[in-house]
Structure 1
Amino acid sequence: MRYRSSALLLALLSCPAATLVAAAEAVAEPFQAPPAQPGELNAEVVFNVLAGEVAAHRHQLDQAFAYTRKAASQTGDARLAERSARLALFNKDQQALQEVVGFWVERDPNSLEARRFALSVALEMGSEGEVERQLNELITLAQAKGEDGFILVARALSKSKEPQRSIDLMQGLVQRQPEGREAWYALALLAAEHKDFSRAEQALQELLQRAPVWDKAISLKVQVLLGQGQKAQALQLLREAVSAAAEDLELRHALARLLVQMEQYQEAYDQYQQLLQRQPDNLTLRYPLGVLAMELKKFDQAEQHFRQIKDSRGRRDEASYYLGRIAEQREDLATAVDWYRRVLGSEFQLQAQIRAADLLARLGELEQARAALAAAREQWPEQAVAIYVTEIAVLKEHEFSAEQIWQLFEQALREHPEHIDLLYARALFAAAQGQVRQLEQDLTQVLRQNPKHADALNALGYTLADLTERHQEALGYIRQALELKPNSPAVLDSMGWVQYRLGNLDQALDYLRRAAEKVTDPEINAHLGEVLWVKGERQQALRAWGQVLGEFSDHPVLRATLERLGVNAAEIEQIKAGDTGAEAQ
């Protein structure tokens, strides 16, 4: 039987036992390593190494550890000691781990990895004296190697199951070197990772007294403030820090990122522009600038940024996607499709393919559009339902027959039986077709799977209120939806409409006004105007309709409402003109 060769075994077999101990690094090492154990490689050592590897390959960890530990004892090889320690760790044998890590440190006392293992074992099993010794020796070794020992200690202590004990241990180390900024930083970082923000802030206060413009300290202070939900204070701190150290690019970058997080896009764009002025060849800055320019509708600037990076390997697909979005904004649909087709990877590939299909449909290439969506379902089967929903939307938008749309729903549900999203989408289409029975059947299936599907509860309740006389039943569904989404304009509108259908005009008006305050929507305003009209508040009704008539004059619910009540557009325009004149005076 053949076994995979391990690098460890090959290294072992290629040199005599006297040279197994790794050469010391070319730095001043604080701990004296023991001499290499004498002796030549022999058959027993080879057997133990090979047997250990085979046992590990078979997941027989007890045997793998026993063989490897024996080989480590025979040779004194630190690498075999490390291998033994990792096997003991995987095997969750704490006693064996403690023993073999001690041997590993003995054979390679200047190994940071060995020291980190030793500290972890001491924290888990050792006495306080052993923990203190390992902490001090790890810091000594790290500093000798030019690394930040306090950070290494903080990383080890961050894994402790006793957060307060670990913070206290770090506090003790810091008090022995109170002037060292690295020590205070490590303490603050450890406390923050353990969510002890009070002690983190205390450590940061000490740290910033010693290093008031250290970008790492300021950035950590910002993270501590954000961890406590104090976004405004974090932003103010970064603004002050950038003002005091205008050339510190790390701080300015941190400020730009926080501004994006807080959706202050114009100021974030300005900060990234200043970063680009200082680093004009830094293409990585072009991407956030392009995205922010898109958000701010600065399409010319966005195009410039994305064209700068469209040929770079790191952002080629993202740049192509956004260049497609820009072309789409300009109604240059053919160019947009071309850009979307260039997106060959990244998280934007599926979205690009869907957008390209939609644009092909708008260009009249409906068969190409549907073929592209079918190909997308093949490529991303986990997204097939979402792609089906998109294709259905394309068919509805381009006035395919109801029969064709029903057929597509049937195909989708054959492939994905009782899928909630498909059932919900079909229910809404059924409502638009006036097929209440189909809607009720589909939404009942949705609610059977998820009784707290607020949108399904709302859709079912609204349809029953609007198209049937089952108003009390409708009220029950809408009440459940409102409990789940108390601030939803759509649900507030449904509650207002069912109250109107029940004859409760004052309650209806209250809900509809609350919905209209949250969003400008032609259906909500159509309902609000109708209730006002029925109550005799006709000028207020005309104003409600006038708010949406210009932009949504073709909306079917708004148009049907005005026709049913015998209201013509001239009456609405007269009220709007009078209001405009009064405002001008």
Structure 2
Amino acid sequence: MKFTLSAARLWALRVTLCASACAVLTTTGQAQTTTEVEKVNNSALSGEMLYQILLGELNLRQGEPAAGFALLLDAARKTQDVQLYARAVDVALKARSGDGALMAARGWTQTAPQDRKANGHLLQILIALNQVTDSLVPLKKELSLAPEAERSLMISQIPRQYARVSDKKQAADIVQQALEPYLKNSATASEAWTAVGRMRLGDNNTAAALEAARQGIAANNKAVSPALLALELMGRQIKEAEPLVTQSLRRQDTPELAMSYVRVLIELQRYDNANEQLQAITRNFPQHADAWLVLGSLQFEQGQDLLAESSLARYVSLSANSDNENTARGLAQAQTRRATLLARQGKINEARQLLAQLPSRNADEQRARLLAEVQLLRENRQWQPAYELLANASADDVDLMYEQAMLAEKLNRLDDMEKLLRNVMQLDPAHHNAYNALGFSLADRNLRLDEAKQLIIKALTFAPDDPFITDSLGWVEFRLGNTSAALTYLNKAYKDRKDPEIAAHLGEVLWKLERTEEARKVWREALDIAPNNETLQETLQRLKPSL
């Protein structure tokens, strides 16, 4: 924006300001008729300069940020007042004038070269404007001005400051150049190399990031930051990073890094290695509750029921007296899985009693407890009790109403299902799952196929990339006899999501087209993923392919 103020505009504003001032003076004059005016210290600002500042502020109040900024910046330059420079920067930023903010920030730093606040503003504005090369000098100054006790923390925050710049390589080069002295200083080398590594990682230069992690660990083999960088590289399938992580783990006195290592191992689906690490953590740090929760969850997923129950019970015991949001979620997860373990033994009532002990101090916790019990009953094919639970609680909660509709379908109460889903659509016209569920249900039963297709197409308008809705569209096309269109949609859905139900539908269309070997291949893949899937098993029993 242009920062100019015409003479006519200035005169008009002076008249307005004088009128306002006269009104104020009249009021205060009346109030002082019986009171002695106290003597005050005179401001260092001249009357004319004070008037200019007030005029600038009045411009801002009247919605004229350009004029207000011009007056305040001019006042700052004439008085060399850092507070006025700060105010000018603030005005320009609020007006979204990057150039104006930069102009004011430069003036501020020239007036107060050792002012960290001024330099920090200049640095942030240059980065925001993508003037990365120009940010080198203020970045160096920011590092030199930081107190020694705060410097490592400040270094660790640099990658976040440059995260949104467009030229990642240039930013990485600038940061490494600014950090050069600190890469050689034993007190800061570890954090400095980590910052360089994160900048290189932002540029997808994994080789340079790996070398930075190696240098950071060499500078301080107890430091966690370079090890976390190595973990991130490990998550990106950089094999050379893992030895750096294990090297750092041997130097740690706390379990935090080891827990981060476990999470990466689980993401990489290396469950046996994750289990080994968790066993070591619980052995070396038996009071670390989260390790027991993750271990129990892993054992639960691997079908090690007795071990899972023992680990989850230990977590509950360690966390029972902790009162925070994370622990509340952890307890809900642990107790829900313990309830599932009981249900696997046929102890449904005991499982429901365990879930009844979950916290219900507020509406969110009550809802979570309800959904946990409904999920337990669904998994154990207890459709009627689950339906009744939701019938008593759904009211105008569209998500609960949707869950109730899905249970109505399981109970073959199709009229109730449709009524519930249409209520969901009325309450939330963009609820794509409701349109898809009703459309698919109709298609699956060969009912009102044209209407079913329209419902599914509407669902796709709200969630065009949802593979399950694409699967539904493929299935309704198949029911309508459009096998070519059906195959196109189902191939896309299966490519996007290797789901056993999508595989069942795709295989059936291929079978219908007499492409039997392709159908068998898809079904075999699905059996490897979920051998007990109902839709898949029903399809295979009906078509009886030899697999």
1:430 aligns with 2:442: yes
Deviations 1:344-384 (A, max 9, x none): 366x7644333345678868586553121225x0xxxxxx2
Structure 1 residue aligned with 2:416: 404
One-letter identity of the residue aligned with 1:254: S
Structure 2 residue aligned with 1:230: 237
One-letter identity of the residue aligned with 2:419: Q
What's the offset of the Cα at 1:511? 0.8
Q: How does 1:131-170 map to 2 (within 5 A)?
A: 133-143=137-147, 146-148=150-152, 150-151=155-156, 157-158=162-163, 160-170=165-175
Q: How does 1:245-324 map to 2 (within 5 A)?
A: 245=251, 247=253, 249-265=255-271, 267-268=273-274, 271-272=277-278, 274-275=280-281, 288=294, 291-292=297-298, 294-296=300-302, 297=305, 298-314=308-324, 315=326, 317-322=328-333, 323-324=335-336
Partner of 1:245, secondary structure, is coil
Q: How does 1:449-468 map to 2 (within 5 A)?
A: 450=460, 453-464=469-480
Structure 2 residue aligned with 1:536: none
Deviations 1:432-472 (A, max 9, x none): 6x4x24244212332366387421233214545xxxxx4xx
Q: How does 1:51-130 map to 2 (within 5 A)?
A: 56=60, 60-69=64-73, 72=76, 76-93=80-97, 96-120=100-124
- For 1:481 and 1:232, the matched residues in 2 are separated by 36
Structure 1 residue aligned with 2:520: 512
What's the offset of the Cα at 1:391? 0.4
Structure 2 residue aligned with 1:371: 392
Structure 2 residue aligned with 1:480: 489
One-letter identity of the residue aligned with 1:456: S
Determine if contact 1:490/1:515 at 8 Å carries over to the other structure.
no
Aligned CA-pair RMSD = 4.3
- For 1:306 and 1:49, the matched residues in 2 are separated by 63
One-letter identity of the residue aligned with 1:457: L
Deviations 1:389-435 (A, max 9, x none): 310122234x3644333433443344455854223322343356x4x
Determine if contact 1:325/1:336 at 8 Å carries over to the other structure.
no
One-letter identity of the residue aligned with 1:516: R
Cα gap change, 1:192/1:353 in structure 2, threshold over 3 Å: closer, same or farther? same
Deviates more, 1:46-55 or 1:94-103: 46-55
1:443 to 430, 437, 453: 453
- For 1:161 and 1:494, the matched residues in 2 are separated by 44
Gaps of 5+ in 2: 1-19, 21-38, 343-347
Partner of 2:121, secondary structure, is helix
Determine if contact 2:503/2:526 at 8 Å carries over to the other structure.
no
Cα gap change, 1:69/1:313 in structure 2, threshold over 3 Å: closer, same or farther? farther
Determine if contact 1:222/1:238 at 8 Å carries over to the other structure.
yes
- For 2:130 and 2:534, the matched residues in 1 are separated by 69
Cα gap change, 1:121/1:438 in structure 2, threshold over 3 Å: closer, same or farther? closer
- For 1:530 and 1:362, the matched residues in 2 are separated by 24
What's the offset of the Cα at 1:483? 4.0
What's the offset of the Cα at 1:283? 5.3
Determine if contact 1:116/1:138 at 8 Å carries over to the other structure.
yes
Cα gap change, 1:326/1:77 in structure 2, threshold over 3 Å: closer, same or farther? farther
- For 1:404 and 1:217, the matched residues in 2 are separated by 58
2:194 to 185, 188, 195: 185
- For 2:537 and 2:291, the matched residues in 1 are separated by 44
Partner of 2:204, secondary structure, is coil
- For 2:48 and 2:278, the matched residues in 1 are separated by 64
Cα gap change, 1:51/1:260 in structure 2, threshold over 3 Å: closer, same or farther? farther
What's the offset of the Cα at 1:142? 1.7
Determine if contact 1:496/1:510 at 8 Å carries over to the other structure.
yes
Deviations 1:5-38 (A, max 9, x none): xxxxxxxxxxx999xxxxxxxxxxxxxxxxxxx9
- For 2:368 and 2:158, the matched residues in 1 are separated by 45
- For 1:280 and 1:157, the matched residues in 2 are separated by 40
Cα gap change, 1:415/1:73 in structure 2, threshold over 3 Å: closer, same or farther? same
What's the offset of the Cα at 1:157? 5.0
Deviates more, 1:337-346 or 1:84-93: 337-346
Cα gap change, 1:68/1:308 in structure 2, threshold over 3 Å: closer, same or farther? farther
Deviations 1:220-278 (A, max 9, x none): 2332453xx31544444423432x42536443233123223224456445545644555
2:369 to 340, 352, 360: 352
Deviates more, 1:61-70 or 1:359-368: 359-368
Cα gap change, 1:184/1:304 in structure 2, threshold over 3 Å: closer, same or farther? closer
Determine if contact 2:105/2:118 at 8 Å carries over to the other structure.
yes
- How many residues were matched structurally? 476
Partner of 2:151, secondary structure, is coil
- For 2:290 and 2:56, the matched residues in 1 are separated by 48
Determine if contact 1:189/1:200 at 8 Å carries over to the other structure.
yes
One-letter identity of the residue aligned with 1:450: L
Deviations 1:98-149 (A, max 9, x none): 4422342245443323222334566769997x76543443222125564236
- For 1:131 and 1:416, the matched residues in 2 are separated by 49
1:239 aligns with 2:250: no
Cα gap change, 1:371/1:223 in structure 2, threshold over 3 Å: closer, same or farther? same
Structure 2 residue aligned with 1:10: none
- For 2:363 and 2:321, the matched residues in 1 are separated by 14
Determine if contact 1:185/1:207 at 8 Å carries over to the other structure.
yes
Determine if contact 1:151/1:186 at 8 Å carries over to the other structure.
yes
- For 1:127 and 1:500, the matched residues in 2 are separated by 59
Cα gap change, 1:531/1:326 in structure 2, threshold over 3 Å: closer, same or farther? closer
- For 2:521 and 2:199, the matched residues in 1 are separated by 51
What's the offset of the Cα at 1:491? 4.6
Structure 2 residue aligned with 1:197: 206
Deviations 1:182-239 (A, max 9, x none): 543332232223333343344445444544554322322332453xx31544444423
